[in-house]
Amino acid sequence: MTSLELVRERLASFAERGAADVSPLYAHLAARAATDDAVAGLLTAAPERFAHPTLLLAAVHRLAQAEPVHPLSRYYPTLGGTHGPDEGTWPLFRDFVLERADRVRELISTRSTQGNEVGRAALLYPALARVKGPVGLVEVGCSAGLLLGIDRYSYRYQSEQAGQVAVGPAKATVGVHCVLELAPGATMPKLPKSVKVGARIGLDRAPADLEDEETYAWLEACVWADQPERLRLLGVAAAAQRKAKPEFVTGDAVADLAKAVALVPEDQPLVVLTSMVLPYVPVVGFVDALRALGRPLTWVSLESYGTGLEHLLPGRAELEDGHVVGLVRVEDGEVRSAEALALAAPRGQRLTWLV
């Protein structure tokens, strides 16, 4: 169980910072839930490490999926709604939630938010391109493992300095767009036409089976309800992966990392990938697990600075409020280098290259 005080703090912070600029609907709902103990209290049913606003909102989204004719759907573009948040949104949401409080609480207590942000592949592609392949790719906290298809997607980067840059397979079924900016003094990153991946291994406490209807419905529910483009991208990437599945390991991000890595052939350069995983995993324990693997590796990450690279690159004030694409090299059980390559919008819309 999680304290109501912590839940309220997280809801208010999410409304002010996490969703404010990208999701008017979720910012609106979270701000009001933060001051409503009946609604906020439902989130206390989750363990503290999972009790984030996105879990409450995903649970409600899932129930709204099952009742698409309910008036609340008018505010959910993923369900065909066209209304923006107004004075009627919160009362309708609150009634919907409290009338189904037992079902919301059950989802919250048995599920966790599972992000499969395909757009993040555009943020990670330039970092992965710095490792000569074909690489053995291990995604930690992979959920359905859609980022393991990073080499199979096409990308269009829009840059003021270079115009539009297209990379990836020309006939890819999944296409991702990203604005690419350069920080002062930075140089344009190398964007090769392709990156090469050999082994693809996903590690997760509960890997998501795309063939299971209820599991897939939950993945859809974890997409924010006013962002239908993300839902479309999830569907296209899921369809592509069903034709070429990676290998999954069920286990803990720290305790079972070696088990997942053991599936990567020794002749393939090892790349460990994390994407918004470290809020749920202790960074010190994770770095120690990387060091204990006993083989050279590159850790490519997309994490907030405070939960990720701050441990290895302290004192970088300019990174404190952002999500950072990081690249860490480990050899002989020691961290040999750590770089903050870019600041990024967490769902892949924008990349600001720093080096």
In percent, the amount of the chain with pLDDT more than 90 equals 89
Q: How confident is the model at residue 33 (pLDDT cuts 50, 70, 90)?
A: very high
The residue among 73, 59, 68, 40 whose CA lies nearest residue 103 is 59
What per-residue confidence (pLDDT) applies to 253? 96
Q: What is the mean pLDDT of the chain?
A: 95
Q: Say what percent of the chain tops pLDDT 70.
A: 100
- Cβ–Cβ under 8 Å, residues 14 and 23: no
- Cβ–Cβ < 8 Å for 70, 82: no
- What is the average pLDDT across 15-37? 94
Amino acid 38: pLDDT: 98
> How wide is the angle at C-alpha 159 spanned by C-alphas 153 and 162, nearest 5°?
100
CA distances from 84 to 24, 38, 101, 215, 224 (A): 8, 24, 25, 28, 14
pLDDT digits (tens, 9 = 90+) for 297-309: 999 999 999 999 9
> Which residue spans within the chain are E strands per DSSP?
135-140, 154-159, 163-167, 175-182, 197-204, 247-250, 270-275, 297-304, 323-331, 334-344, 350-353
Q: Which residue has the higher pLDDT, 69 or 347?
A: 69
- 322-327 contacts: CB < 8 A, separation 24 or more? 323/276, 325/123, 325/124, 325/126, 325/127, 325/300, 325/301, 325/351, 326/127, 326/299, 326/300, 326/301, 326/302, 327/127, 327/130, 327/298, 327/299, 327/300, 327/301
* Pairing verdict, β 270-275 and 135-140: parallel
Instruction: Work out the average pLDDT over 101-121.
Output: 93
b/e for 149-165, b at 16 or more Cβ within 10 A?
bbbbbbbebebeeeeeb
Model pLDDT, residue 45: 97
What does the pLDDT read at residue 100?
98
Q: pLDDT band for position 108 (50/70/90)? A: very high
With b for 16 or more beta-carbon neighbours within 10 A and e for fewer, the 303-327 pattern comes to: bbbbbbbbbbbeeeeebeebbbbbb
d(CA 301, CA 147): 12
pTM over 0.85: yes
- 295, with CB counted inside 10 A (0-12, 13-18, 19+), is middle
What digits encode the pLDDT tens for the residues 168-189?
998 899 999 999 999 999 999 9
Predicted local distance difference test score (pLDDT) of residue 115? 78
Q: What is the DSSP letter of 16?
A: I
Residue 333 binned pLDDT confidence (cut-offs 50, 70, 90): very high
pLDDT tier at 20, thresholds 50, 70, 90 = confident
User: Does residue 276 contact residue 347 with C-beta atoms inside 8 Å?
Assistant: no
Rounded Cα distance, 233 and 327, in Å = 26
The 10s digit of each residue's pLDDT in 215-249 is 999 999 999 999 999 999 999 999 999 888 899 99
The tens digit of pLDDT for each residue in 188-199 reads 999 999 999 999
Per the CB < 8 A criterion, the answer to whether 49 and 55 are in contact is no
What would the pLDDT profile of 77-103 be if each residue is shown by its tens digit? 999 999 999 999 999 999 999 999 999
